[in-house]
Amino acid sequence: MAIQYTSEEKKYVLLKGNILKRMEAERVSDAQMAAATGMAVRTYREKKLYPEKFTYPELRRLFIRLKFPESEILEALT
């Protein structure tokens, strides 16, 4: 039997995947993202794995830097 995610868990799994996908597509490193979001590289790496730890301003800067489409932004924030 497969493990079922709650709707919140599913949202975070999708956000994590979207961040990784966009970082790869834009060829952006963890160090560059840390600088863009105003945090240490180690902190960024931790939050990248657990996106629920990002603050709203950090997510906003992340979405801008990685050129997230509006549909993915709305999915992450609702």
pLDDT for 12 equals: 93
Give the tens place of pLDDT for each residue, 18-77: 999 999 999 999 999 999 999 999 999 999 999 999 999 999 999 999 999 999 999 888
- Provide the 8-state DSSP code for 47: H
Domain spans of the chain, in order of start: 7-77
- The pTM is what? 0.86
Per-residue pLDDT at 1 exceeds 70? no
Architecture of domain 7-77 in this structure:
Orthogonal Bundle (1.10)
* Number of CB atoms found within 10 A of residue 14's CB: 15
**16-19-72 Cα angle (round to 5):** 90
Minimal CA–CA distance to 77: which of 28, 15, 17? Answer: 15
Q: Hey, what amino acid is at 57?
A: P
CB-CB contact of 36 with 44 (8 Å): no
pLDDT for 51 equals: 94
